[in-house]
Amino acid sequence: MPSPSVIKYYTFSEETQIKITEEFCVHYIKTIIKTYSREILLRAISQISQDLGISNDLSRIKELQYKHLNIPTVKNLFVIHRQAILVLLQFIFSVPEKDFSDENKISPRDIFLLFAIINDYLDFHEHVNAKIALRKKIFFTSIKSVHLMMNENDLNASFEFFKKYYERIIELGRKNYSELIKSYLDEDLNSILSIFDKVRNYKYPEIFSFFDKFAVIEYDKIDTFWQNRNPRFDIPFEYNLLAQYPLIKKDDNYLVADIFNLLNSLFVIVYEILVEDDREQFKGLFGKEIAEHVIIKFMERIFACEQIRFIKVGSKSREFADVGIIMDNDIFLFEIKTSIFSRKMLYSTDYESFIKAFNKKFVLAEGITQQIKQLTDVDKNYTSFCELAAIDNSKVYKIYPILLAFDECLQSFCANWYLSTRFDNIKRARHLEPSKYTLSNNHITITFNEIFKLNMMNYAPIDKLNLIKKYADSENKEPMSFILFLQHNNLLR
């Protein structure tokens, strides 16, 4: 299974040259925390979090380390990152208010040591016993990667998706939806869309009062929230609580736990309101009429050129894929999955529960198993497929099966290896050996965020599709995000 390319963060053990244990990390973190007031710790970490935003830019990290930790920018070391902030907040939440001191002046050196030892602590959770099934790494990677790799592209992709998603709800004209949203938020969808502009411009004081309705923990209730959190995960995996409540309110002041989760909560709330009102009806509507519609329209913009044609791949009685694209003798069949707001699944600490939920969404009836059934149908009913697509049935085309996923937390590097391996296993079990067409080397998983990144790159539509083709024909199973990184930096041969 390939690993993502990530920064090596500086640790306490490197700073002190002391060999430490996980138990030492926990004891040391809590000892430092208890020497200060909870409020001053939260204010310090909140300011770092707000200044960092969602950037993984190394020069930005150096600037913040100089500002907050007095580390000269010439030093080539990095201790601050989003995951460390989130884990430090978990420790601060876990210590009862009565155990903090009254000290309200914090030492930059202590903040530095907290970040450094948390990086050690995270290293203990990075590794998996080799005797444990390799698949279990997906669970650890899916949790860690989300907070290491989310960046401006992911946020902009979410803006693109959810802005169009809101506009699509308005376009559908369901009056009860508008009324329902206004009854919860005191704002209609048009007003919420205007908040997007303020969010894009990071006008925090102007938007905090809106988030007050659904994304805030009152400072005096932190202990209660921590004790009553449900589902309950262990540190360092309790991201769910901070994803749900990314703002802390102390009197009239707001402290930001995490900018990405704060902005993401703006997207989440409308979905949660509508799905709670009528789960089955809205989930069905969301999948076909909203999410697929938005993604397909976006794809039509990305791949708009004479050499590329969107083909019909479904009718009332039969569906070979959600989207079909033809370029020369290559056909790309996309299955669109919107595993949206699935934080309970991704943040499960129980491997069996995680993999069961993941398989249900991406592998079984509605996932790659469905794709294999559809590919079998294409082979058995090749003439019908070609007639529907308006293509020449005398040709032998090469088909590229692609799972295009939208999930605000899913990264393809933790899904691609697993899903392509499952695809190969199920394909063999089902004896899929097409005689009317050929298959690409790999089944691939691409996220909407990666499609968005691909669109931002200065390539012609045909070159963008050729990059996906090259990715699918590769002998390796690298993450698409890594391929895009290499291509963007002219490192891909």
88 closest CA partner among 52, 59, 58, 134? 52
Higher pLDDT, 270 or 24: 24
The answer to which of 12-21, 127-136, 377-386 has the lowest mean pLDDT is 127-136
Higher pLDDT, 306 or 471: 306
169 closest CA partner among 302, 314, 273? 273
261 closest CA partner among 229, 217, 225, 292? 217
pLDDT reported for residue 443: 86
pLDDT reported for residue 333: 96
Say yes or no: domain 294-488 is CATH 3.40.91. yes
% of the chain surpassing 90 pLDDT: 37
From CA 87, how far away is CA 143, in angstroms rounded? 12
What mean pLDDT is reported for the chain? Answer: 82
Model confidence at 4, in pLDDT bands (50, 70, 90)? Answer: very low
Cβ-in-10-Å burial (0-12, 13-18, 19+) of 435 comes to exposed
Model confidence at 14, in pLDDT bands (50, 70, 90)? Answer: very high
- What is the token pair recorded at 251? 């009197």
What's the pTM?
0.80
Over the stretch 455-470, which tens digit does the pLDDT of each residue have? 888 889 999 898 888 8
Higher pLDDT, 471 or 76: 76
Sign of the alpha-carbon dihedral angle for 151, 155, 161, 164: negative
pLDDT reported for residue 134: 53
Is pLDDT above 60 for 340? Answer: no
Model confidence at 128, in pLDDT bands (50, 70, 90)? Answer: very low
Is pLDDT above 70 for 410? Answer: no
Is 36 within 8 Å of 106 (Cβ atoms)? yes
Please give the C-alpha separations between residue 479 and each of 412, 458, 468, in angstroms, as whole numbers. Answer: 6, 20, 12
From CA 486, how far away is CA 253, in angstroms rounded? 43
- What is the token pair recorded at 26? 């926990």
| Interstrand relation of 398-406 and 438-439 (parallel, antiparallel or unpaired) | parallel
Is pLDDT above 50 for 129? Answer: no
From CA 286, how far away is CA 290, in angstroms rounded? 5
pLDDT reported for residue 131: 42
Is pLDDT above 70 for 136? Answer: no
User: Which residues, at least 6 apart from 287, have a Cβ–Cβ distance to it below 8 Å?
Assistant: 338
Over the stretch 244-257, which tens digit does the pLDDT of each residue have? 899 999 998 999 89
From CA 84, how far away is CA 195, in angstroms rounded? 29
Model confidence at 2, in pLDDT bands (50, 70, 90)? Answer: very low
Is pLDDT above 70 for 321? Answer: yes
Strands of 339-414, DSSP E: 398-406
pLDDT reported for residue 133: 52
The answer to which of 80-84, 183-187, 230-234, 325-329 has the lowest mean pLDDT is 230-234
Is pLDDT above 50 for 32? Answer: yes
How confident is the model over 327-354, as a mean pLDDT?
Answer: 73
Over the stretch 348-399, which tens digit does the pLDDT of each residue have? 556 677 777 778 878 887 788 999 999 999 999 999 999 999 999 999 999 9
The answer to which of 27-36, 111-120, 433-442 has the lowest mean pLDDT is 433-442
Range of 186-200, 226-240, 247-261 with top mean pLDDT: 247-261
- What is the token pair recorded at 254? 């707001």
Residues of the chain with CATH 3.40.91: 294-488
Higher pLDDT, 20 or 481: 20
Is pLDDT above 50 for 132? Answer: no
The amino acid sitting at 30 is K
